Structure 1
Amino acid sequence: MMTHSDIRKPFPWHILVFLAPGLLIYLTVSVYPLLDTLRLGFFSEDKSGATFFVGMQNYANLLFSEVWSEPFWNALKNNLMFFVIHMLLQNPIGLLLALLLSSPRLRLSGTYRTLLFMPTMLSVVIVGFVWQLLLSPLWGISEDFMYNIGLGDYFDAWLGKEGTALVTLSLISVWQFVGIPMMLIYAALLNIPEDLNDAGVVDGANSWQIFWNIKLPLLLPTISMVSILTFVANFNAFELIYAVKGALAGPNFSSDIMGTLFYRTFFGFQLQQGSPTMGAAVATLMFLIILIGVAIYLFFVQRRIQRFQL
């Protein structure tokens, strides 16, 4: 006599049927290019275009050779500065805006929320060209506007100077994408039970104490997620720098980041000849930097936040 435990359920083949198309697309457009890029980074090419195995030589050239190391370390330093400016400005401003929009005393909060999020939906290329026109000393309106409000003496060709080009581009990027952390944190604020805020008021806490002791601890998972998304997005950045400053990321490579360095290395630009193998090495190092950053977040930040929630 067969028992219930002896009856095996048939394998759910229908699940594979539904997963197969999406999995096939993912493997084709994401996994295979990534693996092929990792493979190509271990090769070099001769004048005829034939590739041959060189091991870690491409990576050694990027990190230590006179020709490749200076552009690489310059791009990495600029990328880190690009990320730090976003972390210090974009995410705190997003948090502040989310707090203001979540206030029940604010009228037309939906209108403000839409207006603040609208730049995020615009093309990065369009935003770059518009700001380039606005900040131009020749035909831009920024100089006249600053003179009209009494700040004309502070106007300068910020995009045309080595010391200010990268910072200016970072601020443009912050302006465009501040709506993303704002909306994510705003959604998290709406999920905080009002009972907790009311309990804090009953205990005599003021608005600052309620935010610091009640809201902020509950927002930490969202803030940490926003931070890692900012890190990944900044090290994948390319469009804004390319649209405003071109592939050379001038002046004098002062706004060069990993994305523009990869573009020039892989495809070539002006007098620089393209090298798919060196470009693959640059892309692999970009991938490793992002992977290390995400791993640090998962092991040192996310685990502590989970313990705090428990």
Structure 2
Amino acid sequence: MTNGTAPSIKKKRSWSKWTIHLFPIPALIIYGMFVLYPIMAALSYSFFEFNGMSRGNFVGLQNFLTLFTKEPYGSMFWNAFKHNGIYFIIQMVVMNGLAFFLAFIIYKRIRGSEFFKAAFFLPRVLSVIVVGFLWKLILNPNYGTVNVLLEKLGLESLQRAWLGDPDTALIVIILVNCWFGIGFGVLIFLAGFQGISSELIEAARLDGAKGFKMLSRIYLPLMIPSIMIMGVLTFIQSFEAFELIYAMQGSMGEPYYSTDTLAVFFYRLAFGSSTAAGSTSIGLGSALATCLFCFILICTSVFLRVMNKKDVEM
């Protein structure tokens, strides 16, 4: 009896080991269809010319040369790249700075901190498109809440067409994105604060560290991993900025391309009207997407390598 059941038990065990490896297959298929295939397709399309939606002749690096050297593509590319850089810098300073400060306040368990934790994250629950249209109404120059409030306060001189002025449009959109994303940063930094050993904090207090000295010499160095994580995520999000700009300003980066970014420029090239930049070209759009992907990949790899070195040193 025992001898007869032993082989069957071994077969069941071996079969169970194989079935475990089958569970990731559906996820891998979906990942391949919606992530890997589009990346590979965009890379291949960048080496071909297109006649409308049909692929034409192989042109090698011609699409890349056109993107960087032929006008108005070149100037539009660097204009959009500059805006992505501004996007990243402001978000790092404003959004992550405020998120760090708010997370520290919640960590210190100030009265009402639990309510503020939920309140700061609440905008993140909304769709980006909804946020864009909501703030577009709030910033309307005629009946928007911002200009109406300024009028009530007697500050009519500060009223303006916030999204219609090239000097303010990009800054306003970035600040709206900071309002939208600050809750996520608060959660990341709060997790970092809560991961700090209480014994280490108590030892620092016994040594006389308090106030700003405690924050700058104890908390800040120990929060470097969380800061680096938020830096990487902010960098990726800044150079992929599209939905909020599209919802608030459309695909032309209005006014006068002052809110144009690389992702918006890509959409305009590959799918939408590109007006001054010539006719729509999937090949040029794919070349731009390939450059953007490689740039983000290289910079993110460098950030992660630096972050790993910091972890080893600590």
TM-score clears 0.5: yes
Q: Which residue of 2 aligns with 1:298?
A: 304
Aligned partners of 1:265, 1:187: CA distance in 2, in Å? Answer: 41
Confirm or deny: 8 A CA contact 1:133 1:140 kept in the other structure: yes
Pairwise CA distance, 1:83: 1.1
The answer on 1:172 being equivalent to 2:142 is no
Deviation of the 1:193 alpha carbon: 2.1
1:270 Cα deviation after fit: 7.0
Deviations 1:161-206 (A, max 9, x none): 1111111110110111011111110111112122222211111111
Which of 254, 260, 263 aligns to 1:250? It is 254
State how 1:96-135 maps to structure 2 within 5 Å.
96-104=101-109, 106-135=110-139
Distance 1:195 1:298 in 2: 29
CA distance in structure 2 between the partners assigned to 1:47 and 1:307 by the alignment: 52
SS in 1 for 2:257: coil
Residue 189 of structure 2: aligned partner: 185
User: How far did residue 227 of structure 1 move?
Assistant: 0.5
Contact kept in structure 2, 1:83 and 1:230, CA below 8 Å: yes
Deviation per residue, 1:61-106 (Å, 9 max, x gap): 11111131111111111111111111111111110000011113x1
Q: CA deviation at 1:308?
A: 2.2
Q: Contact conserved, 1:267 with 1:273, CA < 8 A, in 2? A: no
Is the 8 Å Cα contact of residues 72 and 261 (structure 1) preserved in structure 2?
A: yes
Structure 1 range deviating more: 94-103 or 214-223? 214-223
Q: Which amino acid aligns with 1:59?
A: F
Alignment map for 1:32-43 (pairs within 5 Å) = 32-43=37-48
Q: Is the 8 A contact 2:274 2:280 kept in 1?
A: no
TM-score by length of structure 2 reads: 0.90
Secondary structure at 1:45's aligned position in 2?
strand
Runs of 4+ aligned structure 1 residues displaced above 6 Å come to none
Output aligned runs, 1:258-269, within 5 Å.
258-269=262-273
Q: Does 1:57 align with 2:62?
A: yes
From 84, 95, 116, the equivalent of 2:89 is: 84
The amino acid that maps onto 2:312 is R
Query: Secondary structure of 2:72's match?
Result: helix
- Mean alpha-carbon deviation: is it higher for 42-51 or for 196-205? 42-51
Kindly provide the CA deviation profile for residues 210-258 of structure 1, in whole angstroms up to 9, marking residues without a partner as x.
Answer: 2222211221101100100011111111111111111111101110001
Give the match for residue 307 of structure 1: 312
Query: Are positions 1:278 and 2:284 aligned together?
Result: yes
Extract unaligned runs of 5+ from structure 2. Answer: 1-12
The CA distance in 1 between the partners of 2:312 and 2:191, in whole Å, is 22
- 1:4 counterpart residue number: none
- Matched with 1:20 is 25
Query: 1:228 aligned to 2:229?
Result: no
Instruction: After TM superposition, give the deviation of residue 48 of structure 1 in Å.
Output: 8.7
State the number of aligned residues. Answer: 299
TM-score, normalising length from structure 1?
0.91
Counterpart position of 1:194:
198
How far the C-alpha of 1:268 sits from its partner, in A, is 2.4
Match of 2:161 in 1: 157
Quick check: 1:102–1:186 contact (8 Å CA) kept in 2?
A: yes
CA contact (8 A) 1:132 1:244 kept: yes
Structure-2 separation of matches of 1:273 and 1:185: 46
2:140 counterpart SS class: coil
The amino acid across from 1:40 in the alignment is: Y
Return 5+ residue gaps in structure 1 as ranges.
Answer: 1-8
Q: Distance in 2 between matches of 1:35 and 1:180?
A: 31
CA contact (8 A) 1:268 1:275 kept: no
CA contact (8 A) 1:143 1:155 kept: yes
Alignment RMSD, CA only? Answer: 1.9
- Once the two structures are aligned, what percentage of the paired residues are identical? 34
